[in-house]
């Protein structure tokens, strides 16, 4: 049972870490080189795609905006540019058209570095793209970006989990531990009683054997 509990807790922690890493905002410093709109077939409810622009019809085949960028090391990064609307994840993004226009304007500037805020992963094998939510000009590729939102969010989550753990521990100490201690005491008393009866029965058996041996020696002279 202990191993099952440990495996369950490890899986729960792993799943939580993966979800947090996917949905929390991240920022990349890149240069925008181009934008594009592609007609794509997207299954309804796909976990790595969001939704059409707010106010448009949600169909399987739709236009998806993309932002093409280059990092300082020369590697490329492609972002999708989709609205999230009012649904999860709650980025409340309704301005994918405006963001596309802003990206197109920045693509005209050769040496302009920008910080692209996004969530999600880029997995080329499955054509999965992170969703860009914001673009901001920065001074250069070495600009310092402090993830204040992530720090605050993770701190709040840690505090909530700590208070939940404290509450469960207090409730366990108050309600569960006394019952468990009482059951343990009753088991110990029952074991002592059983041990006492077993010892008494063993003494009686030994006395019976001794009496039988005396009887045999007395009448038959047997050892």
Using 50, 70 and 90 to split pLDDT, how confident is the model at 116? very high
> Do 160 and 132 belong to one domain?
no
By CB atoms closer than 10 A (0-12, 13-18, 19+), residue 119 is middle
Same domain, 83 and 139: yes
Asked whether residue 223 carries a pLDDT value surpassing 60, the answer given is no
Kindly tell me the burial class for residue 131, based on how many C-beta atoms sit within 10 Å of its own C-beta (0-12, 13-18, 19 or more): buried
Residue 159 lies in a domain: yes
More confident residue, 140 or 47: 140
The total domain count for the chain is 2
Co-location of 131 and 161 in the same domain: no
129's CB contacts (< 8 A; 6+ apart) are: 48, 66, 78, 79, 80, 120, 122
Residues 131 and 201 in one domain: no
Same-domain check for residues 140 and 152 = no
- Interval 84-112: pLDDT, tens: 988 888 999 999 999 999 999 999 988 89
Mean per-residue pLDDT for 16-44? 92
Mean of the pLDDT values across residues 45-73? 79
Question: In terms of residue numbers, what domain contains 67?
Answer: 26-145
Note the pLDDT tens digit of each residue in 119-169.
999 999 988 999 999 999 999 999 999 999 999 999 999 999 999 989 988
Same domain? 68 vs 167: no
Residue 30 and residue 102 in one domain: yes
Single out the residue of 218, 222, 19 nearest to residue 119, CA to CA: 19
pLDDT tens per residue, range 195-212: 666 676 677 666 666 665
Is the model's pLDDT at 55 over the cut of 90?
Answer: no
| Same domain flag for 45 and 88 | yes
Residues 188 and 95 in one domain: no
My answer on whether 31 and 114 are in the same domain is yes
32 plus 132 within the same structural domain: yes
Domain boundary among 145, 171, 202: 145
Q: Is residue 60 part of a domain?
A: yes
Task: Evaluate if residue 56 carries a pLDDT over 80.
Answer: no
Q: Check pLDDT > 70 for residue 58.
A: no
Domain of residue 129, CATH code: 2.40.50
Are residues 128 and 30 located together in one domain of the fold? yes
Final residue of a domain: which of 129, 145, 161? 145
- Give yes or no for a contact between 132 and 122, defined as CB atoms under 8 angstroms apart: no
Q: Which of 126, 145, 164 is the last residue of a domain?
A: 145
- Prediction pTM value: 0.74
């Amino acid at each position: 049972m202990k191993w099952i509990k440990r495996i369950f807790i490890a899986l729960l922690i792993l799943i939580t870490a993966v979800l947090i890493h996917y949905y929390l905002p991240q920022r990349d410093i890149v240069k925008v080189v181009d934008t594009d709109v592609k007609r794509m077939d997207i299954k309804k409810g796909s976990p790595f795609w969001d939704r059409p622009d707010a106010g448009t019809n949600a169909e399987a085949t739709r236009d998806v905006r993309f932002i093409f960028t280059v990092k300082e090391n020369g590697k490329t990064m492609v972002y999708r540019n989709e609205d999230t609307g009012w649904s999860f994840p709650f980025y409340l993004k309704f301005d994918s058209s405006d963001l596309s226009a802003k990206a197109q304007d920045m693509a005209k500037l050769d040496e302009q570095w920008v910080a692209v805020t996004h969530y999600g992963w880029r997995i080329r094998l499955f054509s999965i793209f992170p969703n860009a939510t914001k673009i901001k000009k920065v001074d250069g590729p070495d600009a310092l970006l402090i993830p204040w939102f992530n720090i605050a969010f993770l701190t709040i989550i840690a505090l909530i989990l700590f208070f939940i753990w404290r509450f469960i521990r207090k409730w366990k100490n108050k309600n569960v531990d006394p019952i468990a201690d009482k059951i343990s005491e009753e088991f110990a008393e029952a074991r002592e009683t059983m041990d006492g009866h077993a010892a008494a029965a063993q003494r009686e058996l030994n006395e019976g054997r001794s009496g039988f041996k005396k009887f045999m020696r007395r009448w038959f002279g047997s050892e």
